[in-house]
């Protein structure tokens, strides 16, 4: 397989955004279609560049395998003009957040060989660079393991439990999968129910994470989408809750594991004053499961 780099210049095209659970990616190019067709079936590494405090910062945004070329007309954000582009489309992995590669040892030489990315979509001929990029990808996948300490990534967990949902209608199946990733109807239901963080009432929805009380892998398909089996939490609370370092009693009061030391509690803002904003009767069976099976006394 060949590898290509696609460059997104933030000054011209704005930030390259990736949504949680996104698997389809594309890259606009003014190269000829015949040249772009050579990328089909090959890997595209998308790198974004932005000037910060007078210096360029480069981030790895996604890696995808090109499947086809589309012809599109889009407004150029720099000129405001409608222009025609070829678009390399495919499926792959987005890095959330994008990974800063500016200071990687291999990057300055790579940047120079790519003419500071002035060649547009261009093949990567240095195997050392490819190996370095693949290592970053593998490290990213490894760091996105399930919080209970198992060696499964979220994608591996979905595959492991596929038998429980693969024969459902497509809409339901999609909702089940998205609920594990923390998106889709499950998160929308939690946003509507909680209207903010379940503990702090913090309202910036983009920051909040949809978390199952009874873990997704332990739940039936009905409970995977049950709004009473979910909390909307700030990332620090979500990480502690998923890993069993905190839980909540039936009155919503926080329970803190002895494994969470005072210094870490202070840094994460974990105190005994924390409390769920509301607890209904339907929450209690799930909270009980979390205390009995996930919480690390």
pLDDT in tens, 70-105: 887 777 666 777 777 788 888 887 887 788 999 999
pTM here? 0.50
Average pLDDT over residues 258-273: 91
* Alpha helix (H) residue ranges in the chain: 10-13, 33-36, 107-113, 127-143, 154-160, 170-181, 184-194, 221-224, 235-242, 262-268, 281-293
Average pLDDT over residues 257-286: 93
Phi, psi of 114 (to 5 degrees): -90, 10
User: Going by C-beta distance under 8 Å and a sequence separation of 6 or more, which residues neighbour residue 277?
Assistant: 194, 198, 199, 201, 252
Average pLDDT over residues 198-215: 90
Domain regions of the chain by residue span: 3-143, 165-293
Please state, as a whole number, how many other Cβ atoms lie within 10 Å of the Cβ of residue 225.
Answer: 20
- Here the tokens at position 199 are 């503990």
Please name every residue paired with 63 in a beta bridge, in sequence order, or none if there are none: 45, 93
Look at residue 238 and give its three-state secondary structure: helix
Please state, as a whole number, how many other Cβ atoms lie within 10 Å of the Cβ of residue 189.
Answer: 19
Average pLDDT over residues 224-236: 91
Report pLDDT for 30. Answer: 77
pLDDT in tens, 24-68: 788 888 788 888 889 898 899 999 888 888 888 999 988 888 888
Q: How far is CA 79 from the centre of its chain?
A: 31
How far apart are the C-alpha atoms of 274 and 64, rounded to whole Å? 42
Residue 246: pLDDT above 70?
Answer: yes
CB contact at 8 A, 129 and 45: no
Residue 4: pLDDT above 50?
Answer: yes
Tokens 């590494």, located at residue: 45
pLDDT in tens, 135-188: 888 777 655 544 444 444 555 556 666 776 667 676 666 666 666 655 567 888
């Amino acid at each position: 397989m060949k590898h290509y780099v696609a460059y997104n210049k933030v000054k011209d095209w704005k930030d390259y955004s990736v949504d949680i659970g996104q698997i389809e990616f594309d890259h606009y190019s003014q190269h000829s279609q015949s040249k772009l067709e050579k990328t089909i079936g090959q890997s595209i590494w998308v790198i974004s560049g932005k000037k910060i405090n007078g210096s360029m910062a480069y981030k790895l945004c996604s890696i995808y395998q090109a499947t086809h070329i589309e012809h599109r007309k889009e407004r150029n954000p720099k000129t405001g003009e409608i222009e025609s582009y070829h678009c390399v489309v495919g499926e792959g992995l987005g890095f959330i957040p994008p990974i800063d590669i500016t200071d990687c040892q291999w990057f300055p030489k790579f940047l120079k060989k790519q003419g500071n990315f002035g060649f547009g979509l261009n093949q990567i001929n240095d195997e050392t660079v490819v190996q370095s990029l693949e290592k970053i990808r593998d490290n990213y996948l490894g760091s996105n393991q399930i919080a209970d300490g198992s060696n499964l990534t979220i994608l591996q967990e979905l595959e492991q439990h596929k038998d429980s949902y693969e024969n459902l209608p497509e809409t339901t199946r999609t909702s089940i999968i998205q609920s594990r990733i923390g998106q889709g109807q499950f998160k929308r239901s939690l946003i509507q129910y909680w209207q903010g963080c379940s503990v702090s009432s913090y309202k910036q929805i983009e920051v909040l994470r949809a978390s199952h009380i009874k873990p997704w892998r332990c739940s039936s398909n009905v409970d995977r989408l049950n709004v009473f089996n979910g909390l909307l939490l700030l990332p620090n609370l979500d990480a502690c809750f998923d890993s069993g370092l905190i839980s909540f009693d039936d009155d919503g009061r926080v329970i803190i594991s002895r494994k969470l030391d005072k210094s870490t509690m202070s840094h994460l803002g974990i105190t005994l004053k924390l409390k769920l904003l509301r607890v209904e009767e339907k929450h209690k069976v799930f909270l009980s499961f979390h205390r009995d099976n996930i919480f690390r006394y």
